[in-house]
Chain A
Amino acid sequence: MLFGLMETGFPLFYWGNALMIVIALTLIYLAIAKGMEPLLLVPIGFGMILVNLPLGGMMDYEMMLRAPQAGTVMEVSMNKGTGFDKGAIVCKLDTGEVKAPVFGRVDSLKVSKGQRVEQGQVIASILTMEQTNQAELPSRPIGLLSRIFQFGVMWQILPPLMFLCLGALTDFGPMLANPKTLLLGAAAQFGVYLAFFMSLFFGFSLTEAASIGIIGGAEGPTTIYVTSVLAPHIIGATAVACYSYMALVPIIIPPVIRLLTTKKERQIYMKPSLRPVSRLEKIVFPLITAIIVILLVPTSAPLMGCFMLGNLFKECGVTERLNQTAQTTFVDLITIFLTLAIGAAMPAQNFLQPKTLLVLVLGVVSFASAAAAGVILAKIMNLFLKEKINPMIGGAGVSAVPMSARVVQVMGQAEDKKNFLLMHAMGPNVAGAIGAAIAGGVFIGILG
């Protein structure tokens, strides 16, 4: 208590909170000092700090703890304000114990010693920051960030809207000029399924494995969307893994490319100019893509529909106001809400689990194998193509747009100053975004 007047966060602050704050500060340092995805890592890092300062309440959910069976209260093990881990005994009945199903703290106790309780009667009101399956453990968001998270992320509103903005920011021209690069974007999704399988071997459930695998799609909104549907309890880990590795693409992808290509292959020259793509092609593409993909994978409708709508805003030429809004103010608003909420989904009790470390490791595997698969397919395609493609552009199938393409450009320039690979790499880069959205929709369609 502070001067006997109000509670401070110190009694509930533990080493886990301190470690999470250090991790958050590291992300913020990378963003500000090193310029790594600052628009994402600054709010994610700050959200992590906010949620790891106890009693702030910004990410609190209220849950009613109910008696699993009728009985008489023999002992109440906690007081108002007591913090507890998952599984802690809240009170003992003569017929059994009432344990906390989540970590959190007691908001108020509704029973006392000697009281008779019926099955389902409320024992206590508890506050938790844990994401729960609402069908099994219903909870009510009562904090600023928990409300944004619940109604923005868990209601699957913010991720598709972010995809709309990404569609408005995406130029499919390079891909349309050389549409075989769609295959390189498809190949990159191999990383998704490899990580999916590896996750199963490490003991994750099918839905958790899908949420981990989709990290390899290298699309933050897709990862958040799929995880919010299939495994919301690991959304913090998968989202921070995805966004962090997107920022680390210049470190992850080059070694993979160098390992899988020879110097001669990396020096394959690609003509700098692409076929001119007509405005009509760019207008028809999002329409046809939305229709085909959503008919085949209906569960991809929110992501793919919004993605293509945003792109149509950009290309049709008659919705310039909507296009400008989507590319500027709207994307910034969505980014603030989404990334702050994601950062706040990482309290220490949730994040510092062995499973989280595994998620982070599998996320790297997903990214690296996605790049590898793209490069390998490019090499296979070269066996059949008269005009060879530089296999490095396959590595840009990891759809961290446009970072992967820029990485390939830099690597290409290092091999041959006359080789400009950026626009060629943009093809698989944006194709990978489409592939990731489809992969996410397929996971939800099968496992959701």
Chain B
Amino acid sequence: MDTMDWTLAIKTAAGGFGLVFGILMLLWISVELTRITLQKFFGVKK
């Protein structure tokens, strides 16, 4: 490329990393919620 689209590059990197982090945090929350829900309604089973 003769000219680099640095705006897109920064958006890709920052946005991408933020999205990955955010999604994995969301998964953390969903794992904990799932655990609490299943323990409450089904009890802990192995």
Residue contact B31 to A193, C-beta cutoff 8 Å: no
- Does the CB pair B31–A285 fall under 8 Å? yes
CB–CB A292/B4 < 8 A:
no
User: Shortest Cβ distance from A207 into chain B, in angstroms?
Assistant: 10
Contacts A200-B4, A205-B1, A446-B12 hold; do A179 and B20 have CB atoms under 8 A apart?
no
Size of A's binding interface in residues, CB under 8 A: 41
Residue from A179, A278, A297 in contact with B45 in the complex, judged by beta carbons closer than 8 Å: A278
User: Does A70 touch B at the CB level, under 8 Å?
Assistant: no
By DSSP majority rule, is chain A's interface helix, strand, loop, or mixed? helix
Distance A296 CA – B38 CA, assembled complex (angstroms): 25
- Cβ-closest chain A residue relative to B21: A186
Q: Which A residues are CB-close (under 8 A) to B31?
A: 176, 179, 182, 281, 285
- Asked if B35 and A281 sit within 8 Å, CB to CB, the answer is yes
**Contact at A281–B34, with CB atoms within 8 Å?**
yes
The docked-state distance in angstroms from the alpha carbon of A176 to that of B16 is 24
Distance of B46 from chain A, by nearest CB (Å): 6
Q: Are A296 and B23 CB-contacts (below 8 A) given A179-B32, A281-B35, A446-B15?
A: yes
With A276-B44, A442-B19 as given contacts, are A434 and B35 in contact (CB-CB < 8 Å)? no
Task: Check: A190 CB closer than 8 A to any chain B CB.
Answer: yes
Chain B residues at the A interface, C-beta cutoff of 8 Å: 1, 4-6, 8-9, 11-13, 15-17, 19-21, 23-28, 30-32, 34-35, 38, 42, 44-46
Nearest first, the 8 closest Cβ-Cβ pairs linking A and B are A186-B24, A179-B31, A442-B16, A193-B13, A182-B24, A186-B21, A182-B28, A179-B28
User: Can you spell out 20 A-B residue pairs with CB atoms less than 8 angstroms apart?
Assistant: A179-B31, A182-B28, A183-B28, A186-B24, A186-B25, A193-B17, A197-B13, A200-B9, A205-B1, A206-B5, A206-B12, A209-B9, A278-B45, A280-B45, A288-B30, A288-B34, A289-B27, A435-B24, A439-B17, A446-B12
